Amino acid sequence: MRSGTMPVIELIPAREAKPKPPADRLGFGRHFTDHMFVMDYEEGRGWHSPRIVPYQPIALDPSAMVLHYAQTVFEGLKAFRSADGRIRLFRPEMNIKRLNRSCVRLSIPPVDEQLALEAIRKLVETDSGWVPGEAGTSLYIRPFIIATEPHVGVAPSSTYLFLIIMSPVGAYYAEGLKPVSIMVETRDVRAVPGGVGDAKTGGNYAASLRAQQEAKKYGSSQVLWLDGVHRRYVEEVGSMNVFFKVDGTVVTPELGGSILDGITRNSVLRLLQQWGVKAEERRISIDEIEEAHRDGRLEEAFGTGTAAVISPIGELVLGGRKLAVNGGEIGPLASKLYETLTGIQYGRIEDPFGWMMDVLQ
Amino acid sequence: MRSGTMPVIELIPAREAKPKPPADRLGFGRHFTDHMFVMDYEEGRGWHSPRIVPYQPIALDPSAMVLHYAQTVFEGLKAFRSADGRIRLFRPEMNIKRLNRSCVRLSIPPVDEQLALEAIRKLVETDSGWVPGEAGTSLYIRPFIIATEPHVGVAPSSTYLFLIIMSPVGAYYAEGLKPVSIMVETRDVRAVPGGVGDAKTGGNYAASLRAQQEAKKYGSSQVLWLDGVHRRYVEEVGSMNVFFKVDGTVVTPELGGSILDGITRNSVLRLLQQWGVKAEERRISIDEIEEAHRDGRLEEAFGTGTAAVISPIGELVLGGRKLAVNGGEIGPLASKLYETLTGIQYGRIEDPFGWMMDVLQ
């Protein structure tokens, strides 16, 4: 698809609007808006027929490849309503670039970046009434691609669907930022270099479910993943990137092929740089974190991701032992990052990096 | 579900039979029979409403979890038509046990094994006219479970569908057993201990697509996977288990959590034991194979799996160098195993292990 010849996105409006759930009952990813975006791919023809249609079930042949071989990629981003009523997206071009990087790993034909961005923008515009305005709420946007060829055989599909669906989501922290307990996972592995850990693809999440369930038994809400080779280096926490503050220096695992290149992670690093806070992307062993905790040098720990933005870690569960981080309280850095990022997202403070994109043109 | 109280499988017959493709145009997994098996799961109610219905598209909410988080498991087995017209399954109980082991890894509720076996049997009976009779053909059976909860959030689904679909498949080797070229993969990794490599789940196959495509560029039809930790030990070939014959001893990688516990693999080991051929399940480094080749001690190599049964390896491509195995010819052991296994499957020879199960009762 040549730049400058972007196809028109057809709009087939829903006959009637669904009732909108009250803001205090939104939850996460359980309610969906009136419309969705759809585009088809066929080998030889490429991506075609971009359109916005009423939100509806999709009919798949039972042999559709995605159901058997998990050839699928997805993204997650949010639209925010500012106090002045503007609706804006947070760094959407980053999500589209990552979607296409995931496509390469999964042998899925990439999408035109300009078209995908316009599809997101136009879909949010179409369902702008679904962007909630209450504190902490937002509209979660889920672009995804699935392999649809009706063929039970291990090979890249010859047909795909690109869809975008949207869900109004409640405040992640209804009662303010709350630290979580995290279990260090020593049995299951999420990903390994050479695998698909740096792609946003279903298989990584399927692999993570068992450990997440186990963690709940130990009172932890998420797991801290260690690397699959040495079983020693910190990778991610749940489906978020992870940061530690040790001796005044912020450290986060380097992008080594097995962890996700998070957009919130990237934004946090940019903010820390702007603030003059020393930050390092490098290998971090769990022993180093344990030692820092023992010596009283582990000042803070937190996860970063689109859903929670910043998720302070108040406790690490390591081999059955519970290590309190910062006395189980939210650290000042996590708090400042949360206030700054959400401040930019909701338009409460200036956007010095040009991260926000207006939906209405 | 208590044993002895197996629910009745309802049958809703198709109004008309689809035309059957000619045996020489079957291919693999491209045509599907007139019926499929379906069963529902809901949290609190368990698996319910087992039924055989006309083969038809399934309607999924676009937020159905399987499309985002790949929470899915599958199996593959075959029904064979003997010369005397009998239709029989090859070790189906092994597939069902493995399906349930995969379920445990993927946090999917297991199915009742007796009911699943009866579902397969009754579905094959219903579509028995679809079991082809030509040499080398069979009916491929694909049981699979998908997460259907309409929820964009990483957690085990609260609802599932268990489906069984069937495809008449052509002779894998239309012109007799043919050795393949295999590329030793050094960049991508299929699985790692602690991951999902020993479960039959979509994510493993999605992760394998890129390397398979690369291998084609080098004239190889499949890749030989090395382990994800040391990048040195042999794991699987394509989606098959792998065997080598070195100095008269047969060796195959041990089941270490990252490779599939193949039913053909198990059957080959049983046959070798019966024949008094020395066989070892152990770690095998690619260096050991290279060395054996250099010293003229690598006598044979072959893959094992449901689709091909035995797939002789005539060439290994290692770092750009091509190593011919057994002069690029089929070895006597691979040939004997193929003849024996297919002989048992098609009823040409005695079934000393009680592996075959009659479909008609």
**CATH classification code of A180-345:** 3.20.10.10
Q: Are strands B46-54 and B10-11 parallel, antiparallel or unpaired?
A: parallel
- Would you call B263 an interface residue with chain A, using a CB distance cutoff of 8 Å? no
Residue B217 predicted with pLDDT over 50: yes
Predicted pLDDT of residue B361 = 61
| B62, B107, B142: residue with CB nearest A210 | B107
Contact B62 A163 (CB under 8 A): yes
CA–CA gap between residue B104 and residue B259 (Å, rounded):
16
Min Cα–Cα distance to chain A from B108, Å: 10
Query: Any chain A CB within 8 A of the CB of B33?
Result: no
> Is the CB of B228 less than 8 angstroms away from the CB of A107?
no
The reply to whether A51 touches chain B by the CB within 8 Å rule is no
Residue of chain A minimizing CA distance to B61:
A57
Q: What residues 74-113 of chain B have any CB closer than 8 A to a CB of chain A?
A: 74, 104-107
Whole-number percent of chain B with pLDDT over 90: 92
Comparing CA positions, the residue from A338, A349, A355 lying closest to residue A243 is A338
| Contact yes or no for A57 and B55 at CB 8 A | no
Residue A325 has pLDDT above 50, yes or no: yes
- Compute the average pLDDT of residues B223-247: 96
Percent of chain A at pLDDT > 90 equals 92
- For residue A256, the model assigns a pLDDT of 86
CATH assignment of B10-169? 3.30.470.10
Is the pLDDT score of B2 beyond 60?
Answer: no
Please determine, for residue B32, whether its predicted confidence score (pLDDT) is greater than 90.
Answer: yes
Q: β-strands A241-246, A249-252: how paired?
A: antiparallel
| Parts of chain A belonging to CATH 3.30.470.10 | 10-169
Region B287-302: what's the mean pLDDT? 98
pLDDT at A4: 59
Tell me, what's the pLDDT at A277?
A: 98
Mean pLDDT of A90-107: 98
Q: Is the pLDDT of residue B263 over 70?
A: yes
Chain B residue at shortest CA distance from A169: B152
Distance from CA of A265 to the nearest CA of B (A): 19
**pLDDT score of A177 more than 90:** no
Instruction: Quickly list DSSP for A101-145.
Output: HHHHHTT-PPPPHHHHHHHHHHHHHHTGGGS--STT-EEEEEEEE
Residue B158, pLDDT score: 98
> What is residue B203's three-state secondary structure?
helix
Mean pLDDT for A341-349 is 97
pLDDT at B1: 44
SS3 letters across B247-313: CCEEEECCCCCCCCCCHHHHHHHHHHHHHCCCEEECCCEHHHHHHHHHCCCEEEEEEEECCCEEEEE
CB contact under 8 A, A59 and B58: yes
Contact across the interface for B191 and A193, Cβ inside 8 Å: no
Higher pLDDT, B13 or A238: B13
Q: What residue spans in chain A does CATH classification 3.20.10.10 cover?
A: 180-345
DSSP class of A85: S
In the predicted structure, residue B109 carries a pLDDT above the cut 50: yes
Give me the helix-helix angle, B202-217 and A202-217, nearest 10°.
150
| 278-297 in chain A: CB under 8 A from chain B | none
Chain B residues with CB under 8 Å of A106 CB are 206, 209-210
B 174-213: CB under 8 A from A: 187-196, 201-210, 212-213
CB-side neighbour CA atoms (13 Å) of A221: 12
Mean residue pLDDT of chain B comes to 95
Q: What is the mean pLDDT of residues A152-166?
A: 97
Which residue of chain A comes nearest to B230, CA vs CA? Answer: A229
How far is B261 from A174, CA to CA, in rounded Å? 47
Q: Kindly tell me if the per-residue pLDDT of B292 is higher than 70.
A: yes
User: For residue A2, what pLDDT is reported?
Assistant: 47
Instruction: Tally DSSP H helices, then E strands, for chain B.
Output: 7, 19
